Structures are given as C-alpha cells and as structure tokens.
Structure 1
Amino acid sequence: MQGLLDEVKLLEESPVAFCMRRTIALTATTKHLRALKELIYECNNAESHGDMILSQVSQQLCNTDLLLRLIKLLKSLEFEARKDVVQIFNNVLIRRLGSLTPTVDYVCSKPEILFQLMDSLNNPTITFYCGQMLRMCIRFEELNRIILHSKKFYDLFHMLDAPTFDVRGEILQVVNKLLVTHQPLIANFLEQNYNEFFDRYYEMLTSDNYVTRRMSVETLSAMLLKPSNIMSMKRYVSCATNLKVIMNMMRDNKCKHYVIELFHIFKLFVGNPSKPKEVLKILVLNQERLATMLRKIPTYLEITNVAIIDEMYYVSVLVESLKLEPEEAAA
C-alpha cells in the first residue's frame, strides 16, 4: 500500500503530462493497483484471515483518502489502472462487517467522493468508469439520499447537453438508478421537491435527443407506476400540460420504439377518477383519434403481447366513454 501511496503523491505533484517522472509513476501505479486488486480478490475467496486483511486494506484506503485521490487522478491513469480502480472501489464499498458497511460510512462522511464522480461523468475518457462506481454507490440508500438532496443532482440534467453519446448514456443510467432503486426514499423526495424536479424532468422529456427522450420516458413510467409514488403520480396526471406532452409523443413516429412505456403513463390519466376539467376536456376533444390510435398501435408495431393488446383496447373503450358535463363543454 505504501508504494501505491508514494506513486499517487508523485502524480499529484507532477502536473506536466509528458515528463519522464510522471510517466514512470503512472507505470508503477498501474502495477500497484493490479497487485492491490488481486489481493482483494484473494481476500474475498480466502477461507481464513481474508476478512481481517481486507478490513486492514479498506481502513488504509479510507484513512489516507486514497479512494478520492485515485478518482481525481482517474483521467490520467492508464487504461488497465482505471479498470482496477473501479474494481477496488466497488469491492471495498460493498464490504460488510456484520451489519455494518464501513466504507459506505466513510463515503457518507466524505461526500466529495460522490460529487467528484458526478462531475467526472462529463469527461468522455472516464465517464464509463465513474458511472460504474456511482451505480454501485446508489445501491446504498444513504449514498443515494446524499446525491438526491445535493445541488449536484440537478447538474446531471444540464450535463445531458453533452455532445458525446457515451456521456449522455452513463448520466441517464445513473439518473434512472437514483430514481427507482429505493422507493420510500424516492417517494419522499418527489413529494418534497415535486415542482422543481418535474420542471427539470420536462426538459428531458422534450429533449431533441432520442436517447434522452427514450430513457426519460422509461424512467418516468417506472416511477409513476410504483405504488409508493402514488401521491406524486396523482399530481402528475392532474396536469393538462403533462397530458399534452405524453399524447404528442404517442403520436410521434420517432417515439414508436417506446410507445408502450408512453401508453403506461397515458393510461394513468385516463384511469384517474378525479380528472381536473382541463384534463378531461383534452381527452374528450381527442377521444376519437386517441381510441383509433390505441387500437392501431398493436398492429402497426406488431405487438404480440396479448395482455398489452387487451389493455390498450380496454383503455380505448374508456376514452370513448368519457363525457363532459354541459357546463364544462361550453367553457
């Protein structure tokens, strides 16, 4: 471990990318990281003493802030070294000591690790590695909570403007995991931050980028259909603007590959027993076109799932049965 610490210190103190001293340090760092990764793997597979050795390694990594320092250096490391950093980070993160997760507690006390990973998602060179480590962090509710309630969370939405496909893909996967992994946490977050969150999410749904739109719809569908999110779902389907967005996307040929996810959102508007008059009016004024579209979608997209076909037909019948009261129709 001391050898790795020495090389990391050299890299931190040698900003010139192509100086000989730095090149030698990079090569040595790669060797030390490979050895550390192999030691951790051996500890995981060892029948005895493995836990004690792994505990000592993890403690050293935390006490020296080596995890954070390696993440900061990630873009400078060699290809194999980057992969080894991910494996080391993920393995020590999930290490348990009875019911405790010491490395998770350490990251909670040093959220800069999470924020550094989030910022680094925007770098095409290391976005894949940072995405892997972040998704592992999100498996732990306490780390998910830190990210959601930080100012950095909404920075992820802005980063979706990145021109690089890999960057957008990693960010969208991270956002998806953040919003669907820990249901009680997400339900509480959405209720407390409903307006700000969905204002930002609207921009994702209406993005010009196909991948952003598609993954945003898939995540939204998963969120709204979770029983724990029922309060936020009711607010969402009570908004006429939201209904218009979903209807327009369902009619857009560019959205045909995720029209089933759009349908699962749309059916919530139709099934809402307490529709605001603005929502009801939109559905009634468009009921013939909506019913026809719902009945044509299975044939047009060659859908073979009988349950989906039956559900679309049932929703089309519900749409046709909707009526406005005389005073609402005149408004």
Structure 2
Amino acid sequence: MSFSFFKPRPKTPQELAKVIKDSLMALDTRTVVEVKALEKALEEVEKNFVSMRGMLSGDGETEPNVDQVLQLALEICKEDVLALFIHKLPILGWEARKDLVHCWSILLKQKADSTYCCVQYLENHSELLDFLVVCYDNKEIALNCGNMLRECIKFPTLAKYILESPSFELFFKYVELPNFDVASDAFSTFKDLLTKHGTAVSEYLISHYDEFFSQYEKLLTSPNYVTRRQSLKLLGEFLLEPPNSHVMKRYILEVQYLKVMMTLLKDSSKNIQISAFHIFKVFVANPNKPREIKVILAKNHEKLLELIHNLSVSKGSEDEQFDEEKELIIKEIERVSRLPNLVH
C-alpha cells in the first residue's frame, strides 16, 4: 500500500532554521569549478526560503501561526542565520533574494518579552549593517540591500548606529552613482536616515556638523540636476524640523551656505529656485544676522530682488502664503541694503 499521497510533516521552526542554516553553510564548501554542485546548493537554499516565507506570511490559504513566526525569528538569531542571510546575499539567486527581502521585514518586527529579537541581534552584530551599506557597490544586490537597510532604519538604535558609522559617508558617493536605479535607491535610504528619527539625527548633526555640511554642499552644487534637486529638497525637510533648530541656527550664520542658496536661486530649474527660496528666506529673516551676511545681501540686493520678484509657485493654497513670504523677504533685503556702513 502506498502512502505517497500524504504530505510530509511540516517542519518545526527549529528544524526549518537548521535546514536554512545548513543550506547556506553548504555554499561555503562549493567552488566555482563545481558549477553543478553550486547550482544544487542554491536550489536547496531557494526551496528552504520558500518554506520560510510560507511559515512567516502564510501560503494564501492559511494564515501564519503567530507563535511559529516568533519561534522561527528566535531560532534564526540563536543559530546566527541572520548573519548568513547578509553574508550570502551576493551568491544567492534572484528568487531567493526576493524571498529573503520579503521575510526580512517580518523577522525584524518579531518581539519577545518587549524586545525585538532580530533588531537586538543586529545591535550586537552591527558590522552586518555596515556590510549592507557597502553592498550598494554591487549593483546586482544593491536594491535588495537598500530594501533591507530601510527596514533596519525604522528602528532608532539601528538608524543611530548607521548615522554614526564611518560607512554613512559612503552615501555621499552612492547617491551620485552612474546607475540611476541604484543612485535613487541609495538616496531613499539616505533620506530615511536623515528624517525618520529626529533626536538621533539632531545629535548626529550637532556632533558632525562641519564634515556633514561640507560634504552636503557638494551635493547641492552637483552638476547632476537630480542630485541638486533631491538634496536641496531633503535639506529643507530635515533642517526645518523642530529637533534641528540648533543646527539650523548655526547653518544660517554661514556665508558660504548663503552663497550656495543664492546660486541655486539662479538655477535654470524653477523647482530648484523655489526650494532654494525656502531655505534662503531663513537666512534673510534671521533677526540675528551677522554682519557678513548683511554685507552679502546688501551688495547683491538688486539681483536678489529681481530673482525673488520673478519667483512664483503654481496657483493653489500655497500661492497666497508664498506671496506673503516673498513680500517680507523683499522688504528685509531692501531694509538691509539701506543700512549705513555695509557696502563701500
């Protein structure tokens, strides 16, 4: 009598974590020469990832078992499978990487006794986060790593680590990579790092003010239109956030950054002009403008007034407020230009 029509017993979370680990470890023992062996090992990983995805998010007919999902996350951390996921990512096939990215976000959300177990694992193995950042250099897996990084950045401790790591500086290079998709993805991650957690961002900007803004100035003056536009818009977003008020107060005292905004006010793109105006107006409206700033405004007042007069936003609710702001800034520039002893 044949029992072949019976389904095999589903694996427990412990068993699944073990077979996933074994199949990923097996990739170590293959050499490029053994193409068939490597293909077989990759197939095994792919099959196990399908099982993992089924356990974590259900199979379309049955919902995932909450206890099993948590148990699998705990086992994956206990067995160091989380590290293997990251280190083996460059070797994996397209389907396996797709399944891994899907499972990654579910695993990070698993909580045992008020602790996110996978997040805690990454806190204790922070070099894995640096590895994910450096993967932007590999365009085959850059978008997968970008997705995984953005899931990590949702958690303040992981975002703070990346901000303060030397690998964070790589983003200034990655956002200008020649591959548009990779550069755009890197910019999305860069943006999340600078906007998701106000307190961590503020602390980072205060302690790394000079090096950060000198690097950022290169993005604002990039010959690449997309880089200029995106970085200017992002600057407005994080600089004008309440937690960054100390940083903004320091920024608007700097003559070199005022000059950058004045250059951007002359950009051929209307979008860039408008975004530049929203930062430029803070320099002008500052009641405690240093003498150097006043001198620049006074010397260039005719050109500035002409540029600002010609600025307009598309008709809508913002239109009225924008016109009011324009009027205030025009009046302030005119007032500064009449101050004695500024321009010789």
- Kept in 1: contact 2:283–2:289 (CA 8 A): yes
Amino acid at match of 1:218: K
Q: Are 1:256 and 2:258 an aligned pair?
A: no
- In the TM superposition, 1:197-236 aligns within 5 A as 197-236=212-251
AA in 2 matched with 1:144: A
Contact 2:299 2:343 in 1 (8 A): no
Give the equivalent residue in structure 2 for 1:269.
283
Change (3 A) 1:17 1:233: farther
Q: Could you state the TM-score of these two structures normalised by the residue count of structure 2? A: 0.88
Provide the alpha-carbon RMSD of the alignment.
Answer: 2.2
Query: Equivalent residue for 2:45?
Result: 29
TM alignment of 1:1-331, pairs within 5 A: 1=16, 2-16=18-32, 19-42=35-58, 50-97=65-112, 99-253=114-268, 255-298=269-312, 302-304=314-316, 305-306=318-319, 307-323=321-337, 325-330=339-344
Q: What amino acid is aligned across from residue 9 of structure 1 in structure 2?
A: M
Contact in 1 for aligned 2:175/2:186 (Cα 8 Å): yes
Q: What amino acid maps onto 2:188 in structure 1?
A: Q
Mean Cα deviation higher: 90-99 or 129-138: 90-99
Identity among equivalent pairs (%):
31
Q: Is there any run of 5+ residues in structure 2 with no aligned partner, and where?
A: 1-15
Give 1:23 deviation, angstroms.
0.7
Q: Deviation at 1:269?
A: 0.5
> How many residues are matched?
326
Rg bigger for which structure?
2
CA contact (8 A) 1:284 1:322 kept: yes
Conservation of the 8 A alpha-carbon contact between 1:291 and 1:317: no
Aligned 8 A contact 1:122 1:167 in 2: no
Partner Cα separation in structure 1 for residue 149 and residue 165 of structure 2: 14
Give a deviation string over 1:94-121, Cα, whole Å, max 9, x none.
Answer: 1223532111111100112211110101
In structure 1, C-alpha distance between the alignment counterparts of 2:297 and 2:76, rounded to whole Å: 58
Could you state the TM-score of these two structures normalised by the residue count of structure 1?
A: 0.91
d(CA) in 1 for partners of 2:40 and 2:60? 31
- Alpha-carbon shift at residue 327 of structure 1 (Å): 2.8
Q: Structure 2: which amino acid aligns with 1:117? A: L
Higher helix share: 1
User: Separation in 2 of the partners of 1:50 and 1:180?
Assistant: 34
Question: Does structure 2 conserve the Cα–Cα contact (< 8 Å) formed by 1:246 and 1:266?
Answer: yes
Report the Cα distance in structure 1 between the residues aligned to 2:305 and 2:34, rounded to whole angstroms.
65
Tell me, what secondary structure is at the counterpart of 1:329?
A: coil
Unaligned 5+ segments in structure 1 are none
